[in-house]
Amino acid sequence: MLKNVLLVGLGGFLGSTCRYLTYYLIDRKIESLYPWSTFTVNIVGSLILGLLLGFIAKANLANDHLRLIFAVGFCGSFTTFSSFMYENLYLFQQKAYSTSILYLIGSIILGFIAVFAGQAVGKSMI
């Protein structure tokens, strides 16, 4: 158990560091209202997670350490959007179309409402 926690922590350290560097590099070069840095980590993280899980499946690697370091740790700290997208892809591939659509729309709408409400409550606490 401790080994798994350390593997996830190592991947998380690398992922969060890469996320910061991505934000730093993009925000220095592009001045825009559009959140290019967040957009970039979400799309790149989704691509990395897809590539990684596809490689693990194709190579028939039963080694859970790769998944823990890179999928859970790295991609999980680089972006949670990648996990969200992969879960939707899985539901879609299982032909659970209505569940996938509900998860997509529900997560986006309720996530927006939650951050809006959380900000309002947070501001009222000060």
What string of H, E and C letters represents the secondary structure of 62-90?
A: CCHHHHHHHHHHHHHHHCCHHHHHHHHHH
Q: How far apart are CA 48 and CA 76, in angstroms?
A: 11
> Any known ligand binding at 80?
no
The residue written with tokens 């593997």 in the block is 7
> Any known ligand binding at 12?
no
Q: How far apart are CA 101 and CA 96, in angstroms?
A: 9
What are the binding residues for Na(+)?
A: 76, 79
What are the binding residues?
A: 76, 79
